[in-house]
Chains A and B, each alone.
Chain A
Amino acid sequence: MSTTGSISFAVPRSAPRRDPPAREAGVLLWLRKNLFSSVYNSALTLLALWALFVTIPDFVAWAFVDAVWQTDDPAACRAAAGACWAVVAEKHRVMLFGTFPYDEHWRAVAVIAVVIAMAIVSVFKRFWSYWLFVAWLGATGIVLLLLLGGLFGLTPTGTHQWGGLPLTLLMFVGTVVGGMPLAIMLALGRRSSLPAIKAICIGFIEIVRGVPLITVLFMASLMFPLFMPEGLTIDKFLRAQIGMILFFAAYAAEIVRGGLQAIPRGQYEAADAIGLGYWQKTGRIVLPQALRIVLPALMNDIIRAFKNTTFVSIIGLFDVLGATATALEDPLWVLYALEAYVFIFVLYFVFCYAMSKYSERVERDLSKGRNL
């Protein structure tokens, strides 16, 4: 400033501050600009306000003012005009942990803690490496140990006793951890120059993507035992897990393929030029770049995998949704099913919303050209 000051003829003195005209600033302007900028916009605003006015007070009265928060007597709920959140207070153990033995619920809580802690660690870019995948494998091992028991003095609990949030989370983690390598293999196979491998990968991807997930799960739970040799039975949970993995892999493969296509040819050629083999080229040059590009799209699929874990309740596993349905079989509380479903609606929303916000941030970083 000092150097320019000597050259400039202008007197460095600021004009006295004046307040902006009343119509050009403040709340009124904001209202005019954002809500009442034209006749049409004013009409829209009034319409939206009217809709909110009609619904919000009634909803607040139902959900909060007249609601019953805690009682072990359903009759108290029947007397009240509002929601009966007491059903959640009464049944939350069944809804969150299913038929897992009551005394072992601390293990279920530990499972939830491990998965959430791993998810938080995965958010930070400094931890991104192939080791993170290994860490997830390790976490899956700990979760399995906690859920199965039988070692270190833990009471053994069979998969038929699993349920609630731990089952949902394990199914989700298992789907992504098991599905990602398969997805990458399928995507590489689809871009392979070997026609037979390419055909098999295309066939698998297109067929699985062409049918509903529930039919894949149905096949896994009904047809799989038929295809196995006699005497060999595979656990019901594992069968559902395999179905979920196959479905997730087929969708994720298409996204990974998009990333592979987006890597410039020069990268492949440079890797060839310095004499890297196929796997070195893929693992060290192509995949790290491709996976970063497609991360937002991949996050969408991962969120969908989380939402899709509810499908296993249809084939008789007790995930959060299935456990809630079981909890509501109690004739005393069945009238308040709506409140119970609102509760798990919010529960699922918290998980998915967190993931989708994260994915939005990654997308913003990518579009700004920042290195991930």
Chain B
Amino acid sequence: MIEQISHAPRRQAPAKRPPLSLSGLWHSLAVRSWAYQIAVVAAVIGMAVYMVGNAQDAMERRGIATGFGFLGEEAGFDIGESLIAFNSENSFLRAYGVAVLNTLKVSVFSILFATLIGVVLGIARLSSNVLVAKLSAAYVEIFRNTPQLVQIIFWYTLITQLPAPKQAFSLFDAVFLTNRGLILPWPEADPVYLWTALALVCACGAAVLLLRWADRLRRRTGRRVRVVWWNLGLILAAPLLVWSLGGAPTAVSIPYLKGFNFTGGLAVSPEFLALLLGLSLYIAAFIAEIVRSGIQSVGKGQIEASRSICLRPSDTYRKVILPQALRVIVPPTAAQYVSLVKNSSLGVAIGYPELFNVNNTIVTLSGHTTEAIAMMMAIYLSISFSIAVVMNLYNRAVQIKER
């Protein structure tokens, strides 16, 4: 059709090739982007080679051996608290293990507390009760607007100024708070507890399966089966059964004063306590803000709609507000968790033996600065990335599921 109408000669103008010149080349987009990239990569590599070369020179001059062989050597120092047995005759590698476990220990407990306090405060801030809302707001402002390190040192100073064990604050003569830390009654070690814990985990797994089954049944047939009570019973009964089958050990070690300190029970060190408070109370303020903005992000219409279809207030909260708020809450909370784990390195300021602190000692004792720092960086990076991966999975679970 077009060919008949158009009278224009169908001939393509020969592409005019610009004469090959330097300025022409420079104006070619492809050439230019290659040039930029090569220049930047060359600069980065050049700088790295130059710096590593300098470092090697320096180390040769000082006669420092390189390599990760030192990890097997005897550490020659003690660590104040550890989850696995450790003494100065163990290797540097084991010292790293102890340090990582200590970092994880304080991080896990801090994350639990921070989440708990943060969620409660976030909801309290939206309460219709003015007093509660204002108190929560004041907490958030105070803890968010002061450096975490100052907070940690403040808690540590406070704990070290508590009375000595002889004049300890006590609760029912069983829980003691002193300048040596917090001392709690604790069940005496027994293998039965391990099995009980296992039973609890299994019961939780079974409960999840039961919930899924009920959900599938409801979707397929419309029949509702209430499994809440079954689940609660399962989670309570299974561990109890295992515990009583194992002879129901009830021996509890209650701390008592002996000489200048407490014996028995579980002693939480002042360093751990201060770091736990510093990490969890600080991050809780941020989580409170995240939770508040998450709940506020749910449209008013959603809540009105759920009321108009006669959902109970509890169901409105559980089935309308929470699923939508979680989508907003999860990603920034994950970032806060990562930040918390990284800032557990501030334990160095009060002498809690976490990764950074122990690594400092290892640097000093072994002299392998580069390797030790690389090791520490790698460990921190892998912890951060693992949290990011887990939270991404969870995030995917709470995001909108579209068909």
Binding site for A on B (CB under 8 A): 33, 36-38, 40-41, 44, 51-52, 54-55, 57-59, 61, 127-132, 135, 141-142, 144-151, 153-154, 157-158, 161, 342-343, 345-346, 348-349, 356, 360, 363, 369-370, 373, 376-377, 380-381, 384-385
Which DSSP category, helix, strand, loop or mixed, fits chain B's interface? helix
CA distance A341 to B343 in the complex (A): 20
CB-contact partner of A349 in B36, B44, B146, B345, under 8 A = B146
> With the chains together, A52 CA to B40 CA distance in Å?
61
Closest to A168 in B: B147
Are A211 and B36 closer than 8 Å at their CB atoms? no
Kindly list chain A residues whose C-beta atoms are within 8 Å of the C-beta of B150. Answer: 310, 321, 341, 344-345, 348
Contacts of A310 in B (CB 8 A): 147, 149-150
Q: Which of B145, B345, B373 has the most CB of A within 10 A?
A: B145
Q: How far is the CA of A348 from the CA of B149 in the complex (A)?
A: 11
CA distance A44 to B134 in the complex (A): 13
Does more than half of chain A's interface fall in helix, strand or loop, or is it mixed?
helix
Residues of B within 8 A of A238 (CB): none
Contact B373 A341, beta carbon cutoff 8 Å: no
B149 and A311 contacting across the interface, CB-CB below 8 Å: yes
Determine whether the beta carbon of B40 is less than 8 Å from that of A338: no
Instruction: Determine if A307 and B54 form an interchain contact, defined as CB atoms under 8 angstroms apart.
Output: no
- Residues of chain B with a CB closer than 8 A to A200's CB: 40-41, 44
Sample 16 A-B pairs with CB under 8 A, ordered by A number.
Answer: A35-B129, A41-B128, A193-B33, A196-B37, A196-B38, A214-B345, A215-B345, A223-B370, A226-B54, A228-B51, A310-B147, A321-B150, A341-B153, A348-B150, A352-B144, A353-B141
Q: How far is the CB of A146 from chain B (nearest CB, A)?
A: 25
Q: Within 8 Å of chain B (Cβ to Cβ): is A182?
A: no
- Which residues, 323 to 348 on A, are CB-close (under 8 Å) to B? 325, 335, 337-338, 341-342, 344-345, 348
Contact (Cβ within 8 A) B129 A44: yes
Partner-B contacts on A (CB < 8 A): 34-35, 37, 41, 44-45, 48-49, 52, 193-197, 200, 207, 209-215, 218-219, 222-223, 226-230, 303, 307-311, 313-314, 321, 325, 335, 337-338, 341-342, 344-345, 348-349, 352-353, 356
Contacts of B145 in A (CB 8 A): 303, 348-349, 352-353, 356
* Cβ contact within 8 Å between B373 and A227: no
Given contacts A44-B129, A49-B131, A308-B147, contact A211 B381 (CB under 8 A): yes
Please tell me if the beta carbons of A212 and B343 are within 8 angstroms of each other in the complex.
yes
Q: How far, in whole Å, are A223 and B377 apart by their CA atoms in the complex?
A: 13
**Of all chain A residues, which has the CB nearest B61?**
A230
